[in-house]
Amino acid sequence: MSRVLAGPFAGRMLADLGADVVKLEPPEGDITRLWGKKIAGISGYFNQQNAGKRDISIDLRDSAGVELVRRLADQADVLIENFRPDVMPRFGLDYETLARSNPRLIMLSISGFGAGNEDSRRAAYAPVIHAETGLVERQASLSDAFPADMATSIADTNASLHGLIALLAALFSRATSGKGEHIDLAMVDATLVTMDGISHALDGLTRPFPNEVHETSGGYLMLAGEFRHIWKQVSTVFGLDDGLGGDATLEQKITARRARVHEFFNETCKSREEVIEALDRMNIAWGDVRKYEETTSIRSVEARGTFTEVDDRSGGVRPVTQSPYRYRELRSEVRGGAPHLGEHNEEVLHDWLGMEADEVASLHDVLVSRLPE
């Protein structure tokens, strides 16, 4: 019972791992069905986050729809939802209610600010969390730019993966205890705990020094390590000198040393090969500053099959990311394209609840199916 990214991504990873994941959508569908290129009525964004799932569409504005969800929850191992904390209780689908009839149920609730506090009812999407947790300000400060959102939904994916860890731990615990669990996971918590430099703020220090992109004769390269480290390596390994006397100010040293490093990477090293050879000799990790569309050509990505193809539901195939988990014996892989809205209404209700076609047909007021013509 989730939409957009935080919940759906966790479900996608479970589907890759082999779980029977059923996405429950409202009649209007997940808004991400509108995002990106459509093939056979399925958008690229929706396909990416919901590949390998089955789909059922139920109108929760009808009490019969709510009752149907309760019956499905009785059969489920896991329920993932990413509404605000007050939404599920309003439907009578809160954990306490569902656990009374299914005490083994594990419920993962992902929200922006978590339950039981003054921010709980605030609407929160990833950009809001990015702003609240300092990511937007730090990025603007580093680049001397007007504050702008991140290029990817860090808060959503962090919450999704932390939620997945908590969920799998609860499943492991249930194997011995026999008891279910409710996980209240806040995007703000997941974002802050994942920030490797948050200790600086907690200790009252200035922000950590950043890694930087350097313009070189081999193109724009991200070099791992703050500038002080880069200068130490260049001056030690290649003997660069800033040409200043001992009475130079810190600002003068920084300016001179940056100029010398720029000269080294653009004039001393006259080609990409020479730049990379120098970086490797100094044991400085580097990466090309690529465009999104160039990531398919990364050698490791090609070798590992990070991108694969699934049925595009229209007689062809379309690209999608593969499961990132590589096991020696087990298998984790994307298991097909994304479903149409309500595509598996009858199938899921038969498999999970034993309903026959005539009983499913009697629920036409609460079930929605929107298949391509």
Nearest to 50 by CA among 18, 26, 14: 14
Predicted confidence at residue 368, as pLDDT, reads 85
- Given a contact cutoff of 8 angstroms between Cβ atoms, the answer to whether 313 and 372 are in contact is yes
Nearest to 11 by CA among 50, 40, 55, 44: 50
- List Cβ neighbours of 233 (8 Å cut-off, separation of 6 or more): 225, 282, 283, 284
**C-alpha to C-alpha distance for 77 and 74, rounded to whole angstroms:** 8
Predicted confidence at residue 364, as pLDDT, reads 86
Give the rounded percent of residues in the chain with a pLDDT score beyond 70.
Answer: 99
Q: SS3 for 3-51, per residue?
A: CCCHHHHHHHHHHHCCCCCEEEECCCCCHHHHCCCEECCEEHHHHHHHC
Predicted confidence (pLDDT) at residue 310 exceeds the cutoff of 70: yes
Predicted confidence at residue 196, as pLDDT, reads 81
The two tokens of residue 34 are 């509108």
User: On the CB side of 254, how many CA atoms lie within 13 Å of its CA?
Assistant: 6
Predicted confidence at residue 150, as pLDDT, reads 86
Which pTM was predicted?
0.89
Predicted confidence (pLDDT) at residue 130 exceeds the cutoff of 70: yes
Q: Which residues pair with 42 in a beta bridge?
A: 39
- Given a contact cutoff of 8 angstroms between Cβ atoms, the answer to whether 65 and 58 are in contact is yes
Which residue spans of the chain are classified as CATH 3.40.50.10540?
A: 6-197+300-361
- DSSP SS3 for 248: coil
Q: Which fold has domain 6-197+300-361?
A: Rossmann fold (3.40.50)
Dihedral sign, Cα of residue 289, residue 291, residue 292, residue 298: negative
**C-alpha to C-alpha distance for 164 and 15, rounded to whole angstroms:** 12
**C-alpha to C-alpha distance for 155 and 188, rounded to whole angstroms:** 7
78-87: average pLDDT: 95
Alpha carbon 51 to its chain's center: 15
Mean pLDDT of the chain: 93
What tens digit of pLDDT does each residue of 21-31 get?
999 999 999 99
Predicted confidence at residue 170, as pLDDT, reads 98
